[in-house]
Structure 1
Amino acid sequence: MSQTQSVGGQQSLSKSQTIRFGAAFFIFSLCWMLALQVVAAVLLPQRLTEIAPDSKEAIFAVLNSATALASLVSNLLVGNLSDRTRSIFGRRTPWIAAGGIIAGISLFLIGILPNGLTIGISYCFSMVGLNMMIAPLIASLSDRIPESMRGTMSAFMSGGTLLGSALGQIIGAQFISFELPGFIISGVVMGISGVITIILWPKEKSSKDLPAVKADFKGIIMSYRPPIKGARDFWLAFVGRSLLLFSYYMILNYQLYILQDYIGQSTKDSAVTISTMSVVLMVVSLISSLSAGPISDKIGRRKIPVVIASLLLAIGYALPWLLHSPMGMILFAAVGGFGYGMYGSVDQALNVDVLPNAEEAGKDLGILNIATTLGQMVGPIVTSVLVAMTGSYGLVFPTAIVMVILACIFIMLIKKVK
Structure 2
Amino acid sequence: MVTKNVPDAEQLSAAGITANTPVGIAPASDLDAATRDSSGGAGRAPGATSEPTQPMSRGYILWLMLASFGASMAMMVPLSYGIAVRITELAPGHEEVLGYITGTAQVAYLLISPLVGIWSDRTRSRFGRRAPFLFLGTAIGLVGLVIIGLAPELLIVGAGWILGMVGWSIAGAALQTLQADKLPEQQRGRVSALTGLMTQIAPVLGIGVAYAVSSSTFLVFLVPGVIGAVLIVLFPLVKPEGSSKGLAPSTEVTAKSVFMSYGFSIRKYPDFAWNWLGRFVFFVGLYFNTTFGTFFYAQRLDMPVREVAGVVATVGMVGVLAATIGALVGGFLSDKLQRRRLFVMIAAVLFVGGAVLEATAWSLPQIIAGAVTMQLSIAVFATVDQAIVFAIIPERNEAGRYMAVIQFAQKIPSAIAPMLAGLVITIGAIGGEKNYTLLYLAGGVFALIGGLIILLKVKSIR
Q: Select between 80-89 and 265-274 the one with higher mean Cα deviation.
A: 265-274
1:415 aligned partner: 459
Amino acid at match of 2:72: M
Residue in structure 2 matching 1:25, options 46, 50, 64: 64
Please say if residues 259 and 265 of structure 1, whose CA atoms lie closer than 8 Å, have aligned partners that are also in contact: yes
The structure-2 alpha-carbon separation of the partners of 1:224 and 1:8, relative to structure 1 and needing over 3 Å to count, comes to: same
Tell me the CA shift for residue 214 of structure 1.
1.0
Letter in 1 for 2:121: D
Structure 2 gaps, min length 5: 1-29, 37-41, 45-51, 430-434
Residue in 2 aligned with 1:97?
135
2:162 alignment partner, one of 124, 146, 158: 124
Structure-2 change in CA distance of 1:81 and 1:403 (3 Å): same
1:190-216 Cα offsets, whole Å, 9 max, x none, are 433332121343533525324333144
User: Is the 8 Å Cα contact of residues 80 and 224 (structure 1) preserved in structure 2?
Assistant: no
Distance 1:114 1:383 in 2: 26
Of 321, 342, 361 in structure 1, the residue corresponding to residue 399 of structure 2 is: 361
Which residue of structure 2 lines up, in the alignment, with residue 74 of structure 1? 112
Asked if structure 1 preserves the Cα contact closer than 8 Å seen for 2:424 and 2:438, the reply is: yes
| Shift in Å, 1:386 | 4.9
Structure 1 residue ranges without an equivalent (≥5): none
Partner of 1:267: 303
- CA RMSD in angstroms, aligned pairs only: 3.4
What amino acid does structure 2 have at the position aligned with 1:266?
A: D
| Alignment of structure 1 residues 4-403 onto 2, 5 Å | 7-8=42-43, 11-13=53-55, 17-47=56-86, 52-53=90-91, 57=95, 60-201=98-239, 203-206=241-244, 208-255=246-293, 266-267=302-303, 276-320=314-358, 327-383=365-421, 385-390=423-428, 395-396=438-439, 399-403=442-446
Query: How far apart are residue 62 of structure 1 and its match?
Result: 3.9
Distance 1:276 1:24, change over 3 A: closer
- Contact 1:155–1:292, Cα closer than 8 Å, also in 2: yes
| In structure 1, C-alpha distance between the alignment counterparts of 2:297 and 2:181, rounded to whole Å | 45
Measure the CA separation in 2 of the matches of 1:297 and 1:191. 31
- Aligned equivalents of 2:33 and 2:459: distance in 1? 21
The range that moved more, 120-129 or 175-184, is 175-184
- Going from structure 1 to structure 2, the CA distance change for 1:132 and 1:119 (only over 3 Å counts) comes to same
Q: Partners of 1:47 and 1:402 in 2: how far apart?
A: 31
Could you state the TM-score of these two structures normalised by the residue count of structure 1? 0.84
Greater mean alpha carbon deviation, residues 76-85 or residues 189-198: 189-198
- Matches of 1:48 and 1:388 in 2, distance apart? 18
**Contact persistence 2:122–2:129 (CA under 8 A):** yes
- CA gap of 1:225–1:44, structure 2 versus 1, over 3 A, is closer
What is the CA–CA distance in structure 2 between the aligned matches of 1:327 and 1:30, rounded to whole Å? 28
2:66–2:232 CA contact under 8 A, matched in 1: no
CA distance in 2, matches of 1:387, 1:56: 12
How far the C-alpha of 1:25 sits from its partner, in A, is 2.3
Q: Aligned-pair distance for 1:147? A: 1.6
Return the offset for 1:166. 0.8
Distance between the aligned counterparts of 2:405 and 2:219, measured in 1?
Answer: 36
> SS of the counterpart of 1:111?
helix
Q: Matches of 1:319 and 1:43 in 2, distance apart?
A: 26
User: Quick check: 2:120–2:400 contact (8 Å CA) kept in 1?
Assistant: yes
Alpha-carbon distance change, 223 to 74 in structure 1, aligned in 2, over 3 angstroms? closer
Contact 1:321 1:328 in 2 (8 A): no
CA shift in 2, pair 1:203/1:365, >3 Å: closer
State the identity as a percent: 24
Indicate the larger mover: 348-357 or 396-405. 396-405
Distance 1:37 1:74 in 2: 20
CA contact (8 A) 2:80 2:294 kept: no
Distance 1:404 1:48, change over 3 A: closer
TM-score (norm 2): 0.77
Distance 1:314 1:83, change over 3 A: same
